[in-house]
A and B are shown apart, each in its own frame.
Chain A
Amino acid sequence: MVDERAQQRKAWTRRRLLQTAGLTAVVVAADSVLGDFGGWTRAAAVALPKPRAGARIRLLQWNSFVRAADDELRRQAKEWGDANGVTVDIETVSGDQLQPRTVAAVAAGDGPDIIQMQYGWPHLYTASTVVVTNEVNTLIERLGKVHPVNEAFCKVRGEWRAIPYTQVPNAWHYRTDYFQNAGVKSFPKTWDELIDAGKRVADATGKPIAQTVGHAYGDSLTMWYPVLWSYGGAEVDKDGRTVVINSAETEAALKWAIRAAQNGVKWFPEWLDPDNNQAYHADRISATLNGASIYIREIVEFKKFDQVTGLAGMPGGPKGTFTLNLAMNHAVMRWSKELETAKAFLFYIMDKANYSKWMAAARGYNAGVFEALYDDPVWKSDPNLAAFRNVVVDPAGKPIGNWPGWPARPSKWTSQSQTQYVIADMFAKAIFSGDSKAAMTEAEAKLKAIYGRP
């Protein structure tokens, strides 16, 4: 009897195989024919989510440092809402309020229909998000491959849990007049050159190169992980569990940071994300690493140092040049009663033309994370903005960048290490105590406590 059933299953499988193969051939043929009418028609072959007239949805995300970007998103929300009879509420909160608000919603099992997920949050709140694999695949058909960093954050155990949205590229803002006064012709290409330039600029002008080494949820990560990687260090092995911070490579990175501090570069352990912006606009420093908000405010609002602000990518170390940017993606939340409407809205803002309008409003503060969005016209609108594009994709168009915890895949443990600022704290401790070994040992203990958890 068992054998008979097994044979029936085999026979059914063969038949099913033939049916499936036939169906696939028809779909592929139809798809290629429809494809001749353009990318949009190709994607339309897949059932797209449809908004429900009369629905009301709410999207929660951070306040962009470029207000015009949020205004454009709200405009699009109204435009799409009016066309479909849907009310879209866009709620924005400060960056450090977004996570508590998200946690409150996740714990209550209720809240906004769509939440912006920063960094590895989809790995922390997986059960509260819906699978959007079909939707992302449709977007991939339309817009090409997803940037590997956003893919790593959005994909949990092979399933897409958020729709890739954007990155906030970080580049060095520096005062070309101060650098010229000090005889430094261009921004340093290596970390060692940065020490040399920092000393010369500080000596000549009294304005140091400066950056946070504190608990800034953006700037601390974008600075110190790349420094660590460029010397060959890492916090955890590829397996995501073995702590490897205690190494000669990490020590070399720490010694570089100590040396930089001894040569006039200022590392501030108390600075939060807005502090380097304020110091730059107030003419207190000669260079800092940041998103494009400093540059944009100078050219749009302050117009004090806009003509003497240069932009440059990350310097490199012995193991190469590394970048890390703030990544943001949109998750549709499990409790939403308007799942289809929420997904349809996200499709609308990810439409290439709409996305491009939003990018234009953001003036280079945001970068697209699908292949077709890499060469957005915004990057050509101002040649200086190339520095921001080039930390997301290299000049040849190849995506670059890593995530906190790399080379391990993002996980709840990498997120915990990130939110506890273990790496930035290690650098801070080394810089202010001068004892790189003790700082490394302390970081190792913290990391073992995190990665040793079940």
Chain B
Amino acid sequence: MDTVSRPAQAAQAPFPKSHIRFFEREAPLGFLLLAPTLFMLLAFLAYPFMVGLWLSVTDSEVGMIGRFVGLSNYRFEFLNDPVFLTSVSNTFVYTAVTTVFKLVLGLVMALVLNQAFSLQRFVRAALLLPWIIPTVLSTLAWRWMFDPTFSVVNWVLTHSGLAARGVDWLGTPQTAMASLIIVNVWRGAPFYGISFLAGLQIIPVELYEAAKMDGATRWHQLLNITLPMLRPVLLVVLLLSTILTFADFQLPFVLTNGAPYSSSHVLATWAYAQAIQGGAIGIGAAVSLVLFPVLSIVTAAVLIVLRKQD
């Protein structure tokens, strides 16, 4: 009777014993749990990246897979394309300047928001608005504010007596780059601010109290407690922001689209012009991948610093 009933019971059990044993082993279970993430990374990051890499060493055009041409797309861009060289320098300037401003403004924002004051929650929510609004919409609004005929900024400048005439915001290479930087800082600073605020709130209050007892000024507290304790958050935010700003497309595309006379192109908009508008997918892929080594070095450096800190 027993011999007959046991197999029947095993068949009714939700998991056979061998399966349960498999799940009890740490390594297979770990790999199993990792599998969906791994699949997503392979399918949506590694595969497109490898395809992009392959395209950059071919003479592919839209709708036509090309031949392998080695590094000639890269050589061509560095040796023959003046707009590409301008785009490289613009991308570095754009990333460096905006990162410095966002860092300083974000820190100030976080330190202010970390204080108790009335309407604190409202102000915190309001400061996040630039980050929440879709980039295209907010950039269009800025474009309108910088418009040569309708600029509200110029109206304020001239009517308040701050300037005799309006600024040609998008009409010269220098002001166009400055406009890009202003809008990027306006949009990106809240991300820094909120991230730093989260970091500030986990710093133990006891540290500040002990410092006060020892006679430390606010400035000393900032240098010796706040900044060192914020360092991990600061480095991660810096890393993310640098990568996102290097690859920024929407904002420069909507605000200037390279104008005036292709002087405000960044690598992302120039890659788009080459690959999507001009159909030269191979060259466009090369333009967009030029920064890969630079970004890899920045990422590696930040990760090494973080690991050392751990």
Contacts and interface: CB of A to CB of B under 8 A. Distances in A.
B259 A270 contact: yes
B259 A214 contact: yes
Interface in B254-279: 256-262, 273-274, 276-279
Given A214-B260, A268-B148, A432-B260, A415 B63 contact: no
B279 A425 contact: no
B147 interface: yes
B261 A420 contact: no
B149 A432 contact: no
Contacts of B274: 416
Given A99-B276, A125-B62, A127-B63, A272 B261 contact: no
B5 interface: no
Interface string A202-223: 0000000000001100000000
A116 B274 CA distance: 21
B165 to A, nearest CB: 14
A420 B278 contact: yes
Contacts, number: 99
B80 interface: yes
A416 B280 contact: yes
Q: Which of B148, B170, B256, B259 counts the most chain A CB atoms within 10 A? A: B259
A445 interface: yes
A10 B68 CA distance: 45
Contacts of B63: 106-107, 109, 125, 127-128
A365 to B, nearest CB: 24
A412 B61 contact: yes
Contacts of B149: 275, 278-279, 282, 284-285
A19 B260 CA distance: 65
A268 B260 CA distance: 9
Interface string B118-158: 00000000000000000000000000001111100000000
Interface in B227-272: 256-262
A106 B60 CA distance: 13
A253 to B, nearest CB: 16
A421 B262 contact: yes
Contacts of A429: 261
A446 B259 contact: no
Interface string A273-284: 001001100101
Contact of B279 (A279, A416, A424): A416
Interface string A100-124: 1001001101000000000000001
Contacts of B279: 103, 124-125, 412, 415-416
A269 interface: yes
A415 B277 CA distance: 8
B278 A446 contact: no
Given A412-B279, A442-B82, A453-B280, A269 B59 contact: no
A452 interface: yes
A103 B281 CA distance: 10
A107 B62 contact: yes
Contacts of B64: 127
Contacts of B26: none
B35 to A, nearest CB: 27
A99 B260 contact: no
Interface in B287-307: none
B276 A103 contact: yes
A449 B76 CA distance: 8
Interface string A424-454: 1110110010000000001001101100111
Contacts of A416: 274, 278-280
A419 interface: yes
A282 B176 CA distance: 24
B257 A419 contact: no
A384 B235 CA distance: 65
Contacts of A412: 61, 279
A453 B79 CA distance: 13
A428 B146 CA distance: 19
A357 B262 CA distance: 41
A214 B274 CA distance: 17
How big is the A interface, by class? Answer: 35 or more
A429 B251 CA distance: 23
A419 B59 contact: no
Nearest to A268: B148
Contacts of B76: 449, 453
Interface string B56-84: 00010111100000000000100011110
A279 B278 CA distance: 30
Contact of B278 (A275, A285, A415, A428): A415
A420 B280 contact: no
B171 interface: yes
Nearest to B82: A445
Q: Which of A271, A285, A448 counts the most chain B CB atoms within 10 A? A: A271
B172 interface: yes
B273 A420 contact: yes
A125 B278 CA distance: 11
Nearest to A439: B261
A270 B172 CA distance: 9
Nearest to A121: B279
Given A128-B63, A275-B147, A215 B257 contact: yes
A79 B208 CA distance: 77
Nearest to B179: A270
A278 B256 CA distance: 18
A270 B256 contact: yes
B276 A270 contact: no
A431 to B, nearest CB: 9
Contacts of B83: 420, 446
Q: Which of B81, B147, B148 counts the most chain A CB atoms within 10 A? A: B148
A270 B62 contact: no
Contacts of A282: 149-150
Which are the 10 A-B pairs with shortest beta-carbon distances?
A269-B260, A270-B170, A419-B277, A416-B278, A425-B261, A106-B63, A214-B259, A428-B261, A124-B279, A449-B80
Interface of B: 59, 61-64, 76, 80-83, 146-150, 169-172, 176, 256-262, 273-274, 276-281
28 contacts: A99-B277, A107-B281, A125-B62, A128-B63, A214-B260, A269-B171, A269-B260, A269-B261, A270-B171, A270-B256, A270-B259, A272-B257, A415-B279, A416-B280, A419-B277, A419-B278, A420-B262, A420-B273, A420-B277, A421-B262, A424-B261, A425-B261, A428-B261, A432-B171, A432-B172, A432-B260, A449-B81, A452-B80
Interface of A: 99-100, 103, 106-107, 109, 124-125, 127-128, 214-215, 268-272, 275, 278-279, 282, 284-285, 412, 415-416, 419-421, 424-426, 428-429, 432, 442, 445-446, 448-449, 452-454
Given A214-B260, A420-B262, A445-B80, 11 more contacts: A127-B63, A269-B171, A269-B259, A269-B260, A269-B261, A270-B146, A284-B149, A415-B279, A419-B273, A432-B260, A442-B82
